[in-house]
Amino acid sequence: MDFRGALERKLGLTSVNYKYNLSKDQLFHEAIENDRGRRRVDGPDTEQKAFPTKLGVDGPLVFYTDPTCTGRPVNDTFAVAWPEIESDVWWKDNMKPFDPDKYEGLLKRVVQHVNDRGGHLYVQDVYAGADPSYSVPYRFVGEYATHAMFAHNMFPKQVEGIENVEEKRWTMLNVQSFRCDPERDGSLSDRAAIMDFRNKLCLVLGRADYCGLVKKTIFTVMNYLLPNLGHLSMHCSGNIGGRDDTAILFGLSGTGKTTLSADPNRRLIGDDEAGWTESGISNFEDGCYAKLIDLNKEAEPIIAAALSMKGTIIENVPPLPGKAIEETDPQELDLSDASITENTRFAYPLTCNPNVAAGARGDHPETIVLLTADAFGVLPPLSILDGKEVMYHFVQGFTAKLAGTEVGVTEPQAAFSACYGGPFMAHKPSVYANLLREKMDQHKARCVLLNTGWSGGPAGSADRISIKNTRALLDAALNGDLHGDDVEYDMHPVFNLRIPRSCSDVDPAILNPRHMWKNKDAYDAAADKLRGMFRTNFEKQGFGDFGIDAVV
């Protein structure tokens, strides 16, 4: 079917010119010439948004979002509350129900706005998911060439073996020039990101030009669709070892999900989003969207090298003082400059990694790793989990980090995000937890809780667990060395976790966290305090009502 006819039938777009499936070189030039909007709170909507560096088209594109949208606008994210899906969706602050009548009126006004405005829209046809058993044809339609280029970077361009492509196709209509009216449209502000599960449509409106919306919106859709097919959608990284042994790593930002999956001895499946079907693990994406703030180029050489690569996108990294971005080599950029946002980002193709698994797919995982970075210094560096414990820690999705908002503040803050991606989980957490448990049991996967945080005290008064020890513990877990019948364990007295007494290449003294604290009473108090946080979150989220056992 001709895409123009499809868009006219689906949306009613009749007075628009399209720039369809342009190459990344073409989109690079289009973005610089045509992407216009606000870059400063008090600035006009006519400012240039996208820029070349000194490398020109042979280097990255630098893009600046609206200053009020340097991350996903969680308060303005909705799904249309159609009757057939209303009871299935996990409604929460970052996924609110949108009134169907209000939505239908809003959609008509958006289409009329686009038709009246004329001009052109960029269309990029890609796929979400590398496995044809669930892969969703995904059509981006929007006003910014940068967003089309981002879709080109981040998603597979072709997936063979999909039946009924047009019937399965989802469309994103991204209209930055439309301003919502809350009283008229039912939004909460002048912008909105709305998922319409009945009509397979994602609507992004207003000052919502953060590139991550092009990715995370369809990820949320996939999190709704896959469980309905019996598949597990996951916010995780994955890789494959020399024995063709697959592993997946769940974790929130700062826990090591990307770093630990980038192992030179293992082939990378992906670093952020994946599906687990009856044929194994597969990446949703064909690219990476990495944080850049304070990037250590020596520790992350792949990302550092990709900064200068052709066809990539750098987002919200400020120009150097007194130097135009067009005259700047990408390697000169100050990656510690958070004056625009701490959420500076970088989108690059998966092929920038030197060791990618064929087809970004792997067999069923032998090992599942739940990552946390405990800044309280309480949790063991590694714990062995059984099925009930996996479900509990999976739905809790715990990590903890320093507050970091004021000089001298070192009190850790707990962060809980269900299934290690709560905002993007469209179903209730138990749906994903039950699928994880079923697939673990079916394929006899082992699971560990790996703590990459602090030991011997809280952050600010103790050291973080060394990457050397973390790597050694992870390697032992991936090899199955910590799950044998002859492995001896201690039980954590507060969290009921099994702690191995020894591990190859690791000082056994560090394995039990209480032993690392000089003041044992202070450790016990910290452990009791953290257990209280776990219990409070468990009750607050109602996980017990979802059938999850309270193992802590």
Q: Is 49 a catalytic residue?
A: no
Looking at 49, 147, 235, 401, which residue is catalytic?
Answer: 235
Can you tell me which residue has the tokens 């980038």?
A: 262
Tally helices (H) and strands (E) across the chain.
Answer: 14, 30
Contacts of residue 176, Cβ cutoff 8 Å, sequence gap at least 6: 37, 142, 143, 144, 205, 206, 207, 208, 209
Q: Which pair of structure tokens corresponds to residue 106?
A: 């809003």
Q: Is 257 a catalytic residue?
A: yes
Looking at 147, 216, 364, 492, which residue is catalytic?
Answer: 216
Q: Is 253 a catalytic residue?
A: yes
Q: Is 446 a catalytic residue?
A: no
For residue 416, what are the β-bridge partners?
398
Looking at 253, 279, 308, 466, which residue is catalytic?
Answer: 253
428 close to 90: Cβ distance less than 8 angstroms: yes
Looking at 147, 231, 266, 345, which residue is catalytic?
Answer: 345
254 close to 294: Cβ distance less than 8 angstroms: no
Q: Count the neighbouring beta carbons within 10 Å of the beta carbon of residue 364.
A: 18
Which amino acid, 33?
E
Looking at 76, 209, 272, 337, which residue is catalytic?
Answer: 272
For residue 280, what are the β-bridge partners?
277
> How many Å apart are CA 315 and CA 49, to the nearest integer?
10
521 close to 510: Cβ distance less than 8 angstroms: no
Q: Is 258 a catalytic residue?
A: yes
What are the φ/ψ torsions at residue 86 (nearest 5 degrees)? -60, -40
Q: Which pair of structure tokens corresponds to residue 190?
A: 């002048």
Contacts of residue 49, Cβ cutoff 8 Å, sequence gap at least 6: 31, 35, 36, 37, 39, 63, 64, 65, 144, 146, 209
Looking at 39, 49, 72, 498, which residue is catalytic?
Answer: 72
> How many Å apart are CA 306 and CA 298, to the nearest integer?
13
Report how far Cα 195 is from the mean position of its chain's Cα atoms.
17
Looking at 39, 147, 257, 361, which residue is catalytic?
Answer: 257
Looking at 53, 65, 146, 258, which residue is catalytic?
Answer: 258
Report how far Cα 293 is from the mean position of its chain's Cα atoms.
16
350 close to 356: Cβ distance less than 8 angstroms: yes
| Cα-based distances in Å from 74 to 77, 188, 250, 253 | 5, 11, 21, 16
Q: Which pair of structure tokens corresponds to residue 187?
A: 């939004």
Q: Is 168 a catalytic residue?
A: no
Active site residues: 72, 216, 235, 253, 257-258, 272, 345
